Amino acid sequence: MLITLLVLAAALAALAVWARTKRQRFFTARGLAAQQAGWTSAPMDPALEGVANRILSPGANTRMIAGQYAGYDFRAFDHSHATSRTSTATKLHVVAVLLPVVLPSIAVTTDNPVARTLRVPDQQLESGDFNETFAIESPNQRYASAVVHPQLMEWMLQRPHLQWWIDGPYLVTWGLNWWTVESVRAALDDLTAVAQQIPPFVLADYRLS
């Protein structure tokens, strides 16, 4: 019995060492890839941490990088939170581009049939297909229609899993697992396309600062 316990303890210790080594190799390789892309490590932005904690759940926000992409400054970082004290932390990543002005908050997320059944309110736009695919939360219908215009709706229907949120100067999206250069680039392709489709009159008429 004692020998069995010792063997089990040694196996668990070896597994822990292997997991730490694998994790460290991942972060080292990721850091080198980010440097090659011209991105740099940056201290966490408290305002952006607040955005992530509002969109997701309060948790740990770490390992932020900053750079430029398609003419926009951007930030990306890892986020994790646990749904209970005994559950394993959910690993996510957050990517944000900085808009030229501060806009009112608006969230475009994949539609939730449960929330719809419970009559959780969201803005209804002109496209029935869009309303069935996405849910929108914004201060008012006019602002929602101005930001999410027919051309943007059509573009988003080709990307039914895309979710984004404008909060302050940030246009944000998120995804599963820690960020990688590939996942950040994919998110930035989507975010910069959304940012470029925000009409100039929205930036002028609805800007908060």
What's the pLDDT tens digit per position in 53-70? Answer: 999 999 999 999 999 999
Identify the residue with better confidence: 209 or 32.
Answer: 32
For 83, the token pair is 């749904």
User: What's at 164, amino acid-wise?
Assistant: W
What's this model's pTM, rounded to 2 decimal places? 0.86
The more confident residue out of 15 and 163 is 163
pLDDT band at 115 (very low <50, low <70, confident <90, very high): very low
Mean pLDDT across the stretch 110-130? 66
- Contacts (Cβ under 8 Å, ≥6 apart) of 77: 44, 48, 52, 61, 62, 63, 64, 65, 93, 94, 179
Say how many C-beta atoms besides its own lie within 10 A of residue 200's C-beta.
Answer: 7
Selection from 123, 130, 109, 99 nearest residue 55 by Cα: 109
DSSP string for residues in 34-89 = HHHTT-EEE---HHHHHHHHHHS-S-EEEEEEEEEETTEEEEEEEEEE-SSTTSPP
More confident residue, 115 or 126: 126
The string of DSSP letters for 83-120 reads SSTTSPPEEEEEEEEEEEEEEEEEEEEE--HHHHHTT-
Contact 158, 182 (CB under 8 A): no
Please check the confidence at residue 119 and state whether its pLDDT lies above 60: no
- Whose CA is closest to 163, among 100, 95, 88? 95
Report which of residues 85 and 47 the model is more confident about: 47
User: Taking phi first (over 0 means left), then psi (-120 to 50 degrees means alpha), and beta for anything else, what does residue 149 get?
Assistant: beta
